[in-house]
Amino acid sequence: MGSTTSGQAPSNPTPARLAIALGDPAGIGAEVTLKALARAEWRSQQPLLVGCRRWLETSYQLLKPSSSEPLRDPAELEILDLPLVESCQPGRSTPACGAASFNWLTAAVELVQSGRCRALVTAPIAKASWHAAGHPYPGQTERLAELSGSPEASMLFTALAPAGHWRLNTLLATTHIPLAAVPQHLNGALVQRKLDKLLAFCQRSNPAPHLVVAGLNPHAGEAGRLGQEESTWLEATLEAWRRQHPEVQLEGPLPPDTCWLSAAAAWPGPRPGPDGYLALYHDQGLIPVKLLAFDAAVNTTLGLPFMRTSPDHGTGFAIAGQGLARADSMAAALITARDLG
């Protein structure tokens, strides 16, 4: 299939299709996308890719001799062609790469907002390259919230356990901010809003879910001896939310170092774990998720008027262009967007 006219969407759009923004052109976005789309379940699917056709075709030819998995030929795919203004080398992101990935994301959102596509999948970007290109966003989540007019977007990481019996869901109360700023950003109203979002997501599969909230401090504050946040406002916040939602089994605040033990026990075993976890800051939630489900986890943005997913890994500059990138998380992101979008 030939490329679309540069910068123009196809004239015969299919609302059920996915839009895929291809991420930083110096990273592994093209590789994991072409590998994921080469898998059997996607051979008959026609997502709409947003990126530079010439760069994608060049990447395909570069990767083909050394790829660890089959690659989908870009000639079989439809691409909203937004050409690179200068070449980007694998592993060497530049401001031009940042500008390209920013523009590709923006165009992909427009496809979903216009109804041409029904959900969005995004390949990884490099925040430093965005900043160098004059786009000082903390990440794609914040840009998506701006484009959609959403007052508060939330990052939820979801992964289907290997036996397919249970889904690990972890929502972050705060996202891309310095660790020192976390206590100032947290408050009772924020935590309750995040619990509302986590509840709504988990109720897709269980009307009376089991939710778990991590404490902020070691040992969840240990009655104020290791931190005051739990005793001064978090415990009362959770109790008030618990009274408003009697159908929910809510645990917490639990000591962060043991909070995800139930998830670790459930991941390989036959019995499911809790339906959802609320982490109070980025790495608190991402460390257990990546330890358990690095290749299966999907970043899902809640609070947008459309479904957006992304693989749970970065740009992979160290292995870009070598054919070594694993596409499991991108494949999971595509499936999640298709099934939940």
pLDDT of residue 312: 87
Separation CA 313–CA 295 (nearest Å): 9
Q: For 294, phi and psi rounded to 5 degrees?
A: -60, -40
A 10 A CB-CB count for 141 gives 24
pLDDT digits (tens, 9 = 90+) for 137-163: 998 999 999 999 998 889 999 999 988
Residue identified by tokens 């946040």 is 229
Mean pLDDT of the chain: 92
Q: Which stretches within 149-253 are classed as H helix?
A: 182-185, 188-202, 229, 235-244
Residue identified by tokens 């957006």 is 308
Burial of 226 (0-12, 13-18, 19+ CB in 10 A): middle
Q: Provide the 8-state DSSP code for 283.
A: H
pLDDT digits (tens, 9 = 90+) for 170-220: 999 998 899 999 999 999 999 999 999 999 999 998 999 999 999 999 999
pLDDT of residue 14: 47
Q: Provide the 8-state DSSP code for 89.
A: B
Q: Which stretches within 158-221 are classed as H helix?
A: 182-185, 188-202
pLDDT digits (tens, 9 = 90+) for 47-73: 999 999 999 999 999 999 999 899 999
* The two structure tokens encoding residue 47: 């997502």
Separation CA 215–CA 234 (nearest Å): 8
> Would residue 7 be called left, alpha or beta, if left means φ above 0 and alpha means ψ between -120 and 50 degrees?
left
Separation CA 143–CA 98 (nearest Å): 13
CA 209-246-286 angle, to 5 degrees, is 40
Output the CA torsion sign for 25, 30, 33, 37.
positive
Q: Provide the whole-model pTM.
A: 0.87
Q: Which domains does the chain have, with CATH numbers?
A: 1-152+303-341 (3.40.718.10), 154-302 (3.40.718.10)
